[in-house]
Each structure stands twice: as C-alpha cells, then as structure tokens.
Structure 1
Amino acid sequence: MRLLAIVASWFIPALSLAQDGAVERVIDPGKQVVILLNESLAESAAVAKHFAAKRGIPEANLCRVKTTDKETLTWDEFRGQILKPLGRFLEKFPEALYIVPVYGIPTRISEESPENDAPTDGPEGTITKFVTGRDYACVDAELALIPRPGHELEGWIDSDLFGKDERITPAHQLFLVSRLDGPTAAIAKALVDKAIYAETYGPVGDAWLDTRGLDKATPLGKTDEEIRLAKAMFEAAGIPVHHEDTAAAQDVSTFRDCVFYWGWYAADYTGTSPFMFRPGAVAAHLHSQSAFSIRQDSRQWVGPLLAHGATCSAGTVYEPLTVGFPTMGLVLERLFRGYTWGEACALGNRKLSWMAVFVGDPMYAPFAKGMKDSQERNRALASESYGKAAAAIDAGDLDGAQKTIEEVSKIGVPMEGAQDVAFLAREIASRRLGKANGTVADLVKKLDEARAAREKGDDKAAQAAMEKAVALSSMSWDANFTLGAFLVETGKAQQALQPLEKAQKSRPDSHELREPLGRALAANGKFELAIPLLEDAVADGAGSDCIAILGDCFLKTRQAVKAIQFLTDATKKDAKNRAAFVALAKAHEENKDVPSAIKTFKEAMRIYPEKNEEIAAYKDAWRSFYTTAGHGKDKREKEDVEWVIRDFDNTEYQPPTKGVALEIAKQADAAVGTEGPVGLGTIPGEEMKVPGLPRLAVGNASSAELTIYLKGSCARLIKMNPLNALNPTVKDYGVYPGDYDVLVVVKRGADKTVLSGRVTFHLNMKYGMVMDNSLAMKFPAK
C-alpha cells in the first residue's frame, strides 16, 4: 500500500466518555430505512427479510433489483441494474435516510475510463498518481450520494460531514449506507442478531489496538498516532485496553474477550487458531484492499473479521490511501456518544465517492441515551432469574416462579452464559400436572448424567439416569421426552410410548415431540394416531426412516396408494433403507401389483446387513419376500427365495453373538501391530449352482500357521495349522452378504505377516480362500 502522510484530524476534547451516550436513537424504520436486495439470489432475499423482521421494517421497504451475484460490476451495470431502479423506488420514500444493501449486492464498480488515470499534466505526487482521474469505485459510496446527482465520478470528494457532531437528516443530502454482508448469508443474518444482542446487554469486553511503533513525526507514524489516540478514549470509557506497539503483526486469534479491534498493517487476517469476537464487536484493520472481497473468510480482512464474529467492520474495496480509509477512532467515538453505526460511519469518513465500505446493522446504537441503564438491568435480571425461579419451584411457589420467568422473557434475547429459564418454564408446566420428589438441581443433575453417559456410549447408564430423572419429577417434559426419544432411537419404540405421552400432556404443541411420539404410536399399533404426527414431522424435513414408518402406517391402515407415495420418496432419499424397500414392496402387493412388489423385494435383498444386529431384520425381509413370491406367476422366484431361507437354519450360517463379534474385532485390531498390514489381494469368487447366502471355501496349503478374521455382520475367527499339502483339508464357512474387513495373520516361526483387505461377499456366490505359500488365495483343486 502506498501511504499518504496525514495529520490526525479528529480530537476528543475531554476524553471522558461515559458508556451511556448523550445522543438518543431516533429512527422511524417504516419511513427512513430502505433495504436493497438482489432478487437473482434467494439468499439475498432471506437476509433482507430477516433484517426487516428483526427491526420492524415493512415489507414495502424492500427494493428488489436484478444484478450479478458477483462482487464486481461495471458502471453501465451499476447505473442500469441498481442505480436506476433504486432511484425510482426511493421516490416513494422522501424521508429515507438509511440504505442497507444485503448479501448478493455487488461491492465494487470496475474502472470505466482508464485513459484518465494519473494525468501527466497534473502536479507530481501521490494524489495525482492514485486519485486524480480514477473512476473505479465502491458501490455503497455511490449509493450514499444519490441525493447529489451529477457529482464528479473521478477521484474523491471531501466529506462535509467528517468530524461533525450532529444528527444526520435528509437535509444533509447523504444516505447512510452500511451493508449486511459476509462470507455467507448466515453470517450476514447474524450481524443483525449480534447487534440486537449487544444493544440488549451491552458490548462487553476489551479493546485491542495494534500499531507499528513508529515515530508520530514521520509520515507513516501519523497513522500510528491516529490509532494510539483511541487508547485514551477506551480508558475513559472504562474499557480495558491492550495495545501492541511493535512492527510485528498481532495474531488476532490470541485476543481474549475482544469487543473492539483497530490495527494495521498486514495484508491478510492473521488469526491462526479458533477465535470469536464478543457480540457487538467493532473490528477493522487498515490495509489497501481490506474489503476487496467480503465474501471469503481467510483473505484480506473484512470477510474474516465477520466470519469470526465481528458485528460491524469497515474496509476499502480498492486502494484508498490512508486518508481514504475510515477514521475508526472517530467512528467509535461517535458510536460511544450514542449515534447509530450508520451515522458514526458517515461522521468518521473523510472522503465521499471513494473506496470505504461499512458492514453491519446501520441501526446499531448500543451506547445511545438510556441504553446503559437498560443493559445493566437486563444483565442483572438475566443473571439472577434462573436461581430465583428455581428456588421458587423448589418451595412450591409455581406462580412466583412463573412471574420471574415472564419478567426475564420480556427482554426478548437470551443472555450468553445465563442458565436456560425456558427449561424452568417447562418444569413449572409439568409440576402443575404431577408431583415432584426432588429439587430442580436434582433433576438437572440426572439429566446431565444421562447426557454424559450417552456421550460415552454407555446406553445402560444413560437410561438409568433418565428413569431416575422421571422419578424425581413424574410429569417433567424434559425427563420424559429425553427418555422417550432415547428409547425410540435405540430401537425400543414400544417402551417409549408412556414417557412420550406424558411429555405430550405437558407440551401438546411441541414440534420436537411429533416424530418420536409418532414412531412410538406406530410401534404400538396405533397407526391412525401416528399418521398426523409423522406427516407433520415429514413436512418439517424428517429423514427417510420417519418417511418409511409413515408409509408403513398408511399400509397398515389400508391406504396403499399413499403408502407407495411416501415409501417411494423414502427409498429415493436413502437407497440403503431396507425397511423402506420392504414396506414399499408390501404396499405394491396390497395395491395388487405383485410384479412391482417382487422387483422391490429384490432391491431390498441387495441392501446387505452392515451390523450383527441387522441380521434378524434381513431374515424377516426374506421371509416376507417368500410370501409375496408365492403370489407371483414365476414359481422359480419362490424356489430361489426358498433356497436362501434354507440357509438360515444351517448351522454354518449361525451368526455370533454381539459379544463374540466385538471380541473378534478386538483381537483383529490387536493382531495388526505397529507395522501395519499389507494388501490382501483378490479373493476369487464364482456363482453357485443354486441360490443362497455366500459361502467361503477355506483351507491352508501353506507351511505357515494362518489366522483369518472376518469383521462384518457375521464375524468369523478361523485358525488353521500348516499343512504344506497339495490337497489340503478345506472347510466351508457361511456368512451373510455384505462388506467385511478380512485380516489374515501368517506366522512362520517368529516371523509374522499381516494381510488386510476390504471384501464384499455377495448373494449366490462362493469364494475361494485356500492360501498357499505365495500368500495368494484360490479355490481348492477340483
């Protein structure tokens, strides 16, 4: 960046700021705020509508334009696609003061007349070289000057508002422009939420300044000094300040509790580890193109600062020279006085029609007159309400507890770090329905124990803790819902009905209750009651399992056509959902379409079991297939299915218990050792003469001792002594079809080799697993 020597042109007379400003926030959202969105991008409208809803801005104030979704456009595109339609729209809003471009509106205008750059007949110097004749521009800077048509496009214009301490009105003929933007639409939306949060509870945290240790008498030192002046401002405001004054760039991610950051002069964001600014944070880093691209989260500065939680930021889209960068100390000082972010940016910006872009909710005014007192009250109320309400509940004063919760709920925004009073509100409703045998703290402790046990994978301990929570508060929504949802998730949907029905009595309109309660009702044969709950859950985006259960409910209630509709959708969303395919096949049969039923059953049978626990359902699916195949015209279909079912009773195919399977997997993992395995190679296979489950012909034709581990739905551990024979003894082993990790440990005395591979064993196939001294697998000699 080429720096222009400047002298700090702002001054805080007494440097005795109070965090409660003297300026009131006076905005009429319906008359003064216009939102600019790009209707070519759905996310742009979503951000605009979110802002409008949060700030009470009418839908009529949304100006929709069609333009590129890129960050740069030409002057012709700007004039035709943005400036002209916005100008017409603004005719309906004579009192408009704020224009808010949102995610999807470009930020930069490319150069139109490069031949005018750096005129040779002008005086030599930085201004001539980098300002005179330049007509590349910032979109927002040009929007601000809509009330001043015909202004010079080349170069900059000195702002007549810079350094003023006065309310900006339409009479100033300058729109206050700050955009809601960022690397993603979600980040852009969050700027509004964070601004409202900080207005509610205050921007709480520390200020961090980064200067370069330069002498203020030097040209570059003037910028250093400008940043240094902010230190006294923060101190006067009672905000802890951390100031680093060396040439080294600070690692932003080392800042703690950062709510204000101003620094220079690194090209890109310097954070190296996870980090988030505090809500309400204003953060800016002076660099030539700090906002060249706002929609990325690692390059330049504005985008990454927003991605790491900044509520407001500022930067420049092209080379501004230091005088063209917003004077952040003055912006912050005006914000402290109570001005809105939009006003503060205009009062701290030296140059119009230039490169500065401001990002953040322009209505944000956390220090406006009266804010300090309300924020202190809100923090105290949010901090104390949980304990006060919990004590009232324990004392049996449910009305008193309800009153406390209603008071804190009026704040409208939950405070970070405060305990969740919504839990207490649910508990109050629950205790009005049934007796409690413990304190709120006892109940929370058991729910926490259940959560911790689940995270460790100890389902038995988790269920025990949930059941104790229900015993402490018999109608507790949280205890009953947690237990019921757990039982549904772990395949015990029949047992889940009682706790979920109790939860429903406490909160009959609960959205999160619909899917687990619907599944529990279906598991207990109450299909008619389950259907409306499951339909609502599916409409809200429930997964393929829920869709499949809904389809099965339609099937059970003789609504085959609806069943086919939902089950087809379930199979499309999850091609491995065997239960959905089986139910769909049954629905086709119910609809008298046996060929479609048989075809669908065949698809279901190709979805192999992945775990030991799935084998039972796989066998049941085959038996259902057998029944349907008997209704078909091709009798061979039934015979083929019958051959497979016969294998179910063959001892060769008996799957191990879950405990044995886990032990086999454990031994296999231990056998690998530290050196790791080598590739197993191909296991040859051939189609069997009659259908059936996969069969393995295993033998040892080597001089080594072999141990074979099969890790899959039907785990096997096979040990074979060395034979070194041309015709070794071969034994057949049956497995269920599916993917297996095959591990072969080859031991010759003290030497050990481990072979490993991933193999899919298919239906109707036999595989040769006779190993010779070359460690290749083959079929036994015929």
Structure 2
Amino acid sequence: MDSELAMLPQLDQAPKRFGIVANPAYKQSEAKQISPANGVLMVARLDGPSADLAKRLVNRAVVAEKDGLWGRAYVDLRGLTDGPYKPGDDRLRRVAEITRRSGFTTVVDEQPATLPVGYPASQIAIYVGWYGINVEGVFAESTVEFMPGAIAYHLHSFNGSMIRDAHARWIGPFVRKGATATFGSVYEPYLELTPDQPLFFSRLIQDGFSFGEAGYAATRALSWQTVFVGDPLYRPFGRDPGKRCGRTWPTETALCWNGFTCWPSTRDSPPVLRPRRRSRTCDNCRNKKSAVLKGETWELLSADGQAESASEAFATAARLSTSPKQRQRLAAELARFQK
C-alpha cells in the first residue's frame, strides 16, 4: 500500500496493471526535487508492535537530531565470493566503506551466519546485514544497545511483512529493541529491486538527506514491496560539521563520540568530519573519565602498537563502562592484542 500511495501524484496518468513503476526520484541528488511536483509522494510509517513504540520513533529522532547520531556501525556480510547473491554482499560491503569514511568505527563480519547470540555489538548507531527470515542472534537478545537515532536494516525478502509483531521478521523487533528508523519489503522484491543500500547511506550521511528523502532516492521501483518505518523527516546528518564540532554538548557521551569524529584539518581551519582511526588520542576531549573516550582511545593506541598506554586505557574503559557489550568487546580485543 505504501508504494502505491507514493504514486498519488501520477493519478492523471494511465496506471500500469502489472509490474513495477519506475521511481522518478531514484538516484536523485537534490533532496528538494523529491516531491509531488516531480511525480512522487514520500510515504513512511510511524508504526510498530504498539502505539507507544511508534511514538518513540519520533522521540528518538528528535534526540539524535539534537545531539547527533553517535556510536558504531556493524555490517554483517555472508562472505560470498561468487554466485547469484554475491551482489548483495557487494552492496553491504560498500555501505561499510561509506560508514568508515564518514567517521564511524565500522565492524565488518564475514561469517555466513548472522551475528550470534552473545556477539559484542555495543553502542549500535548503524546496522546492516543479512540473511535470516526472522530476528535472530544478537538482535533476539532481551536488550540491544541501539543508540538514540540508530538506523537498522536486515536484508531479507520478507523482513517487513509483519511490522506489528515484536518477535517475527525484522522491522517489528528492531522498533521494539530501540531502532529509530528501518526499512524492508513486505513480499518478495527480488534483490535488484530492494533499496540501493549504499545509495541510501550515501544520501543520508554524506548529502544530509532526511530518512524519507534518502529512502526514496535509493528506491528504484514504485508499486512494489518497499516499506519505510520511522520519521520521514528525521535528518541525523543535516547539521554542518563545523557547527556540530564547535557546540557545547548536552551529554558527556555525545561529547566524547564527537571527539573521535571531528578533527581540525589544520591548526587554524574549522573542524571537519574525519575517520576515527587516526594516530592520535582525544586529548582535547573534556571528559577524561568516559568509558567511550577510553575505549576508543584504547583502539587507536593498540592499532599504533603503543602497548603500555593502550593497556592503561583499556583498564580505565573496563572500569568505567556501564555497557556490558562494550566490556565484552574490549576484553575480546585485549585478548587478541596480547597474543
């Protein structure tokens, strides 16, 4: 129904009786051009397993627009090297490159199975993965560490077919566990007609599109199977990086995540977004007692081979952290580092 409503501006045209309708907004690079005047009405749902959960989609979006979308990106591939489904892995791999280049610490899993129960998925800002029909693994746990504003997508033909079920498929469970925006298919869309995931995240993160704008810019076909769940006006990356880096942060968590994504390119130039993995620590972050700060500092130092300083940062992060998943992740990384 959603995809049919999106074609309302085309009512004066003879409708096709079968098959897809080309989306005039597909690959659009200017958000203002995605409009009824150009043949498409952006349709999204504030929906989920309950009315209260649907309302929280807006509340979480407001928080993220104010404080920024902070956290880590997780990309769950299948490790495909050939075959008809390899393009799916290729797409999600490009998403990982986009999030990494945009400053998110990005974790890529190459195992065929989905992220398992017990996986140390801490502080999730972005998740994309595939391929299970029903929610499973780490996302079936009682608590999932979605950050305010988190965007979650699991590629499956029927991932959006039971939006109001808190335990089946993926969209309903994502909303229940704390995601702010998600999307999927209500029936078999065929892989090539699912939203172009790299294009979606490119428009959202790099071009500052809203959730709705990015969704429709990434959707090739209307009169088809796609559904978007979340506030279509949610714009997590609409704020100018310089203004975002120079502001006074309302929470210490946002401040410290910000410290790892915003760096001056030169001494006198304004701050710009930079990938987190740089050979320097966040000495200019005001909060020296932050588990986020110390955890990210530990990763930078360990990557640089600074064993003693890295171990000190790890010990502090483990002591300060209130996130079980972060503590678990750091312990696993320390064990690998010490081998």
Identify whether the pair has TM-score above 0.5, normalized to the shorter chain: yes
CA contact (8 A) 1:182 1:295 kept: yes
Asked if the contact 1:207–1:261 (Cα under 8 Å) also holds between the matched residues in 2, the reply is yes
Looking at structure 2, the residues matched to 280 and 240 of structure 1 have their Cα atoms a distance apart, in angstroms, of 16
- Residue 332 of structure 1: how far off its partner (Å): 1.2
State how far apart, in whole Å, the 2-side matches of 1:363 and 1:272 are. 28
| Alpha-carbon distance, 1:162 to partner | 1.6
Is the counterpart of residue 357 in structure 1 residue 227 in structure 2? Answer: yes
Q: Pick from 24, 46, 49 the counterpart of residue 180 of structure 1.
A: 46
Q: Which runs of 5+ in 2 are unaligned?
A: 254-289, 291-339
Cα 1:376/1:284, change in 2 over 3 Å: farther
Paired letter, 1:265: Y
Instruction: Classify the secondary structure of the residue corresponding to 2:198.
Output: helix
- Distance in 2, matches of 1:372 and 1:305, equals 32
* 8 Å Cα contact 1:265-1:286 kept in structure 2: yes
Structure 1 position 370, deviation (Å): 2.5
Q: 1:169: how far off?
A: 3.2
The answer on whether the counterparts of 1:161 and 1:346 sit within 8 Å (CA) in structure 2 is: yes
2:127 pairs with 237, 252, 261, which one? 261
Task: Give how far 1:158 is off.
Answer: 2.4
* Change over 3 Å in CA distance of 1:382–1:242 after alignment to 2: closer
Q: Which one of the candidate residues 104, 110, 128 is aligned to 1:239?
A: 104
How many Å apart are 1:333 and its aligned residue? Answer: 0.9
AA in 2 matched with 1:210:
D
The corresponding residue for 1:160 is 24
Matching residue of 1:310: 179
Residue type of the partner of 1:317?
V
Q: Secondary structure at the match of 1:358?
A: strand
Taking CA–CA contacts closer than 8 Å with sequence separation of 6 or more, which of the two structures ends up with the larger relative contact order? 2
Q: Deviations over 1:445-485 (max 9, x none)?
A: xxxxxxxxxxxxxxxxxxxxxxxxxxxxxxxxxxxxxxxxx
Q: Deviations over 1:54-92 (max 9, x none)?
A: xxxxxxxxxxxxxxxxxxxxxxxxxxxxxxxxxxxxxxx
Alignment of 1:577-596 (within 5 A): none
Given the alignment of the two structures, is residue 209 of structure 1 paired with residue 57 of structure 2, yes or no?
no
Contact preservation (8 Å) 1:200, 1:374: no
Q: Which amino acid aligns with 1:214?
A: L
8 Å CA contact retained: 1:290, 1:300: yes
1:195 Cα deviation (Å)?
0.4
Matched, 1:278 2:147: yes
* 1:452-531 to 2 correspondences below 5 Å: none
**What displacement does 1:368 show?**
1.2
For the 8 Å contact 2:208–2:237, the answer to whether it is kept is yes
Cα gap change, 1:257 to 1:281, in 2 (>3 Å): same
Q: Using a 3 Å threshold, how does the CA distance of structure 1 residues 300 and 253 change in structure 2: closer, same or farther?
A: farther
Structure 1 Cα separation of the partners of residues 148 and 2 of structure 2:
25
TM-score by length of 2: 0.68
In structure 2, what is the equivalent of residue 140 of structure 1? Answer: 2
- The CA deviation string for residues 688-714 of structure 1, in whole angstroms up to 9 with x for no partner, is xxxxxxxxxxxxxxxxxxxxxxxxxxx
Letter in 2 for 1:181: D
Q: In the alignment, is the contact (CA less than 8 A) between 2:35 and 2:42 conserved in 1?
A: no
Counterpart of 1:779? none
Change over 3 Å in CA distance of 1:156–1:177 after alignment to 2: same
**Shift in Å at residue 366 of structure 1?**
1.5
Q: Is the 1:183–1:307 contact (alpha carbons within 8 Å) kept by the matching residues of 2?
A: yes
SS of the equivalent of 1:282 reads: strand
Q: Which residue of 1 aligns with 2:217?
A: 347
Answer whether contact 2:76 2:130 (CA < 8 A) is retained.
yes
SS at match of 1:260: strand
Question: 1:319 and 2:181 equivalent?
Answer: no
SS at match of 1:171: helix
The structure with the largest alpha-carbon Rg is: 1
Amino acid at match of 2:168: R
Which secondary structure state, in structure 1, belongs to the residue aligned with residue 74 of structure 2? strand
Report the CA distance between 1:185 and its aligned residue: 0.6
Contact 1:200 1:375 in 2 (8 A): no
SS of the equivalent of 2:27 reads coil
Task: Report the TM-score, using the length of structure 1 for normalisation.
Answer: 0.30
**Alignment equivalent of 2:237, drawn from 367, 388, 394:** 367
CA RMSD across the alignment: 2.0
- d(CA) in 2 for partners of 1:308 and 1:269? 11
Cα offset for 1:373?
Answer: 2.1
1:177–1:358 Cα contact (<8 Å) kept:
yes
Q: Are the equivalent residues in 2 in contact too, given 1:201–1:378 (CA < 8 A)?
A: no
What displacement does 1:378 show?
A: 4.3
Compute the displacement of 1:172 (Å).
1.0
Structure 1 Cα separation of the partners of residues 164 and 179 of structure 2: 14
Q: Determine what percentage of the aligned residue pairs are the same residue.
A: 35
- Alignment-derived partner of residue 778 in structure 1: none
Quote the Cα distance in structure 2 between the aligned partners of 1:263 and 1:291: 14
- Report if the CA contact (8 A) 1:201-1:375 is conserved: no
Deviation for aligned residue 1:249: 1.4
Change beyond 3 A, Cα 1:314–1:272? closer
C-alpha distance in 2 between matches for 1:304 and 1:284? 11
Partner of 1:589: none
- Of 169, 172, 189 in structure 2, the residue corresponding to residue 300 of structure 1 is 169
Alpha carbons 2:24, 2:38 under 8 Å: kept? no
> Structure 1: any 5+ residue segments left out of the alignment?
1-138, 385-417, 419-782
Q: Secondary structure at the match of 2:148?
A: coil
- Deviation at 1:250? 1.0
The residue type paired with residue 98 of structure 2 is M
Of the candidates 86, 96, 101, which is equivalent to residue 221 of structure 1?
A: 86
- Say if 1:195 and 1:311, in contact at 8 Å, map to a contact too: yes
**Deviations, residues 208-229 of structure 1 (Å, cap 9, x unaligned):** 01111111x5321111111111
SS in 2 for 1:177: coil
Distance 1:212 1:298, change over 3 A: same
State the shift of 1:180 in Å: 0.4
TM-fit CA distance, 1:161: 2.2
Q: Is the 8 A contact 1:202 1:375 kept in 2?
A: no
SS in 1 for 2:62: helix
Say if 1:362 and 1:371 are closer, same or farther in 2 by CA, change over 3 A. Answer: farther
Closer/same/farther in 2, CA of residues 378 and 299 from structure 1, 3 Å limit: farther
Distance 1:329 1:158 in 2: 19
SS state at 1:147 partner: helix
1:9-66 superposed Cα distances (whole Å, 9 cap, x missing partner): xxxxxxxxxxxxxxxxxxxxxxxxxxxxxxxxxxxxxxxxxxxxxxxxxxxxxxxxxx
Provide closer, same or farther for how the CA distance between residues 201 and 252 of structure 1 changes in structure 2, counting only shifts above 3 A: farther
Q: Which amino acid aligns with 2:126?
A: F
Could you tell me how far apart the structure 1 residues matched to 2:215 and 2:245 are?
Answer: 23
* Displacement after TM superposition at 1:326 (Å): 1.5
Distance 2:30 2:87 in 1: 27
Where do 4+ consecutive residues of structure 1 move more than 6 Å?
A: none
